[in-house]
Amino acid sequence: MFSPWYDMYRMLRRSTAPTLATAFFAGLATVLVIVVPWFHFAYRQHEVHVGFDTAAALIGLLASYLLFGRFQRRRRLDDLVLFIAMSVFALANLFFAALPTMFWDVESSPFSTWAALTGRLVAAAALAFGAFASHRPVHLSRRATSLILLTPVGILAATALVVGALVPVLPTGVEAELSPEASGRPRLVGHPAVLGVQLVVGALFAAAAVGFVRRSEREGDAFVRLLAVASVLGGFARLHYFLYPSLYTEWVYTGDIFRLLFYVVVLAAALGEISSYWKAASLAAVLEERRRLARDLHDGVAQELALVGMNLKRLDQADPYVQRARAWVERGLDDARRAISFFAEPVDEPLDVVLARAARDVAAREGTEVALALTGHVDAPPETREALVRIVSEAITNAVRHGHADLVRVELEDGKRLRLRVRDTGTGFDPTATRPDARGGYGLQIMRERATALGGDLRITTEPGGGTEVEVEL
């Protein structure tokens, strides 16, 4: 009854916990900076700002490249907007901050200050919009898709032209020589427009964090979840720049650390996205190889065994050697079919889905009814799934061929231990009298070996006339 609500709670906890924890510790650090004098630190390192801006530009370009790849793959509006946002962040850091400072030493010039400020404001607005944007598909031609790459460049060019035209009347944003060393409390210095924009950008980051959390709850996207964490750090960075605007001075202060952490988390999100691409490529290769093996088995071994079985039917059926040969052929053909089914199925299907399909296939082939009581959404490694599928198949086959069962019940329980049961309504047998040539003795031995290989136990409960129960516990 409460399972859907519990699943929703678990999903909410997974998606919001990192973001809330980041907000808590960032807020705690902000309070300490405000009220505890010894918590302050400042370094007069002009080159560190250049390093931060360069790192921000490179990380932003990597993230924008991956976001453009997501857009090409999924054709979604939100991916397109996020690509533009991250590209503008990267290019603004590179062309309005890092390169001017490295080559012309104009970090505190009106153009550098206001151009970088405007570019980051536009990027933050795009980030917030992308966090809430619709995920509906966007149908663009190949030429239009190529032109999308020029959108961030156009935004920066327009910003440079407007700010450049206004340079003669633009005030100094923050005095470059301003020092936080002697400040025992926040200093709201700098032009009011600079401080106001920092608050606006911080609010946009906060809104983006909320949007990304909602998207991660809905889609379970790890990349988006990390963007929510990064947005929290970006918002606190702007709050610290408001309390002391070190971004446009020669000093490295707390806002710079939060800004660096923002890009570190973006880098982690990008690396996670690359890792997911590698896994997807590996999975695609595995699936293709499995399909090839299934085709080869179907067109080769299975066909040859079927032909041998057809020719054996022309021989004397009373001959014990012919009977034994037919039994071997049938068992080999069953194994080949199970292998084909195993290789043809997806590798990431839940265990209950795989067992249900295998049980129905074997029951239909052997001419019996099957009842299923399987716990849903059970994940298991491929080797575990294969072994349990073969145990179920062997148990159903024995129940019909040797026990003449007209109903087989398959149960799967996922608790502290994984438990699989196969019960039949057949004639049962005396387990102490089982020989390799009676009641599938070889099959029972192989089932035990498969369970043992998985680190589990296999128990058989039966008596003549009372049916049989095969239980595997892992």
Q: Of 263, 275, 183, 282, which is closest to residue 222 (Cα–Cα)?
A: 275
Tell me the three state secondary structure of residue 137.
Answer: strand
| pLDDT score at 15 | 56
Asked whether residue 191 carries a pLDDT value surpassing 70, the answer given is yes
Of residues 249 and 169, the one with the higher pLDDT is 169
Segments making up each domain of the chain, as ranges: 12-282, 345-474
| pLDDT score at 4 | 46
Q: Is 461 exposed, middle or buried (0-12, 13-18, 19+ CB in 10 A)?
A: middle
**Mean pLDDT score, 237-245:** 85
Dihedral-angle region of residue 465 (phi above 0 means left; psi in -120 to 50 means alpha; beta otherwise): left
Of residues 287 and 421, the one with the higher pLDDT is 421
| pLDDT score at 381 | 80
Confidence at 346, pLDDT banded by 50, 70, 90: low
Cβ-based neighbours of 344, under 8 Å, separated by 6 or more? 290, 291, 294
d(CA 269, CA 259): 16
Asked whether residue 415 carries a pLDDT value surpassing 60, the answer given is yes
For the ranges 102-116, 181-195, 362-376, 436-450, the one whose mean pLDDT is highest: 362-376
Q: Of 466, 370, 381, 386, which is closest to residue 421 (Cα–Cα)?
A: 370
pLDDT in tens, 277-289: 888 777 778 778 8
Tell me the three state secondary structure of residue 34.
Answer: helix
Helices (H), 94-141: 99-104, 110-132
**Mean pLDDT score, 336-353:** 75
In angstroms, the Cα distances linking 152 to 82, 130, 234, 382 are: 11, 14, 20, 45
Asked whether residue 344 carries a pLDDT value surpassing 80, the answer given is no
156, two tokens? 């920066």
**Mean pLDDT score, 374-386:** 82
| pLDDT score at 238 | 92
| pLDDT score at 411 | 92
Assigned superfamily of 345-474: Histidine kinase-like ATPase, C-terminal domain (3.30.565.10)
d(CA 472, CA 390): 12
Whole-number average pLDDT of the chain:
82
CA neighbours closer than 13 Å in the CB half-sphere of residue 186: 18
Q: Provide, rounded to the nearest whole percent, the portion of the chain with pLDDT above 90.
A: 26
| pLDDT score at 433 | 62
